[in-house]
Amino acid sequence: MDTVDFKEQFPAIADAWALAQGIVDTVREPVLVLDKGLRVITASRSFYSAFKVSPEETHGRLLYALGDGQWDIPKLRVLLEKIIPEHGVMEDYEVEHEFPGLGNRTMWLNARQVFYAGGADATILLGMEDITARRILEREKDDLLRQKDVLLEELQHRIANSLQIIASIIMLKARAVKSKETRLHLQDAHKRVMSVAAVQKQLHASGASGSIEIAPYLSSLCEALASSMIGDTRPVSLKVIGVGGGSATSRQAESLGLIVTELVMNALKHAFPDEKVDGQITVAYEVAGTNWKLSVSDNGVGKPDGVFAQGKSGLGTGIVKALSSQLHAQVETLAGPKGTTVSVTHATFSTKAIHAA
């Protein structure tokens, strides 16, 4: 089937003009057709409707004179008098202006210079997209996000203060009681409250509302744990090994941080009965695709023969198991003459073992 040429279909100038006007009127966004002197040749029906003007007030008039000069906009002059003559086309050129009777409007202007083979003067097609509502919604969204950040900051500040107050009260009670067993329980509770505070602090520093890079997060957390739990009183070092990067949501990172804190506390409590002997605790985090493995190892007393240690029923063990369950991970403990390793593994994980240096 032969293709009908445009010129053959519309040999009469009047017919071609009718088609062009029909195309302009069909476009939903306001459109102006300007001559080389920037006078209006024609406009779309959407232009008359959007800006509440009539064809009689528009045709043949200089663009800048329309509506008592409401289109005499500096940025529009730059577009039509500099950009279009040099480049011939411009898309999404943003202009904000106060229109009498319409209020403030933000528009994207799309302009194109059209040249004709028959020698007619070039014309400019000027299309307009009103994005005022979109910009208002974006500003409202930005305001809400700023308010959320302020509220989150305040909430985190209150949580940190509350944890410090609770920890102080527990420590005061621990010093006041006469029962050694009760004092040990209160001291243990104090350490756990401080561990939660340390996790919250590191999450806040890492940007708790977004994705958390696990390796730097655990490194910062372990620095805080080493400072608060080890200090200069014991010759025990605490280091972090990260393999393959990996990130997590703030909730997942919080669970991982609490697991690490519990396991580090447990190692300090049980692995080094002689507080004068050098020791090392290693926290390792490995990633393989969507799977990961978190390990906390020590070179402490362990067990005389390499066996899988039986799970304990203490509070710390219960916390680690509960948090691991939330992460859909399994807990495994291996104790031997060279120390103890507790691994928390998500799904099936196969990689080379991490050894404490």
- Each residue's pLDDT tens digit, 284-298: 998 887 889 999 999
Environment class of residue 93 by beta-carbon count within 10 Å: exposed (0-12), middle (13-18) or buried (19+)? Answer: middle
> What is the reported pTM?
0.52
Model pLDDT, residue 4: 47
Model pLDDT, residue 243: 63
Which of these, 291, 304, 313, 316, lies nearest to 340 by C-alpha position?
A: 304
Query: What fold does the segment set 210-357 form as a domain?
Result: Heat Shock Protein 90 (3.30.565)
pLDDT tens for residues 71-113? 899 999 998 989 888 888 889 999 888 888 888 889 899 898 8
- Pick 332 or 230 by higher pLDDT: 332
Using pLDDT thresholds of 50, 70 and 90, give the confidence band for residue 307: very low
Model pLDDT, residue 11: 57
| In the predicted structure, residue 42 carries a pLDDT above the cut 80 | yes
Model pLDDT, residue 351: 44
**DSSP for 186-225, written as a single string:** HHHHHHHHHHHHHHHHHHHHH-TTS-EEHHHHHHHHHHHH
| In the predicted structure, residue 241 carries a pLDDT above the cut 70 | yes
Using pLDDT thresholds of 50, 70 and 90, give the confidence band for residue 203: low
Model pLDDT, residue 291: 87
Which of these, 248, 185, 187, 183, lies nearest to 217 by C-alpha position?
A: 248
What is the C-alpha to C-alpha distance for residues 168 and 190, in angstroms, rounded to an integer? 8
Model pLDDT, residue 349: 54
- Pick 115 or 310 by higher pLDDT: 115
- Pick 86 or 4 by higher pLDDT: 86
Q: What is 6-130's CATH superfamily?
A: PAS domain (3.30.450.20)
Structure tokens at 11: 């040999």
Pairing verdict, β 279-288 and 236-243: parallel
Whether 216 and 206 have beta carbons less than 8 Å apart is answered as yes
User: Is it true that 6-130 and 210-357 share their CATH fold?
Assistant: no
Model pLDDT, residue 205: 63
- Pick 119 or 1 by higher pLDDT: 119
Whether 316 and 265 have beta carbons less than 8 Å apart is answered as yes
- Pick 233 or 213 by higher pLDDT: 213
Q: Is 247 helix (H, G, I), strand (E, B) or coil?
A: strand
Pairing verdict, β 123-130 and 31-34: antiparallel
Q: What's the average model confidence in pLDDT over 113-129?
A: 83
Structure tokens at 155: 């909430």
In order of 78, 80, 82, 104, 334, the CA distances from 74 in angstroms are 6, 10, 12, 15, 75
Domain range list for the chain: 6-130, 134-209, 210-357
* Average per-residue pLDDT for the chain: 80
Q: What sections of the chain are H helices per DSSP?
A: 6-9, 13-26, 45-51, 66-69, 74-78, 84-87, 132-176, 180-206, 214-225, 250-270, 315-326
Other C-beta atoms closer than 10 Å to the C-beta of 306 total 11
What percent of the chain stands above pLDDT 70?
Answer: 82
| In the predicted structure, residue 300 carries a pLDDT above the cut 60 | yes
Model pLDDT, residue 348: 61
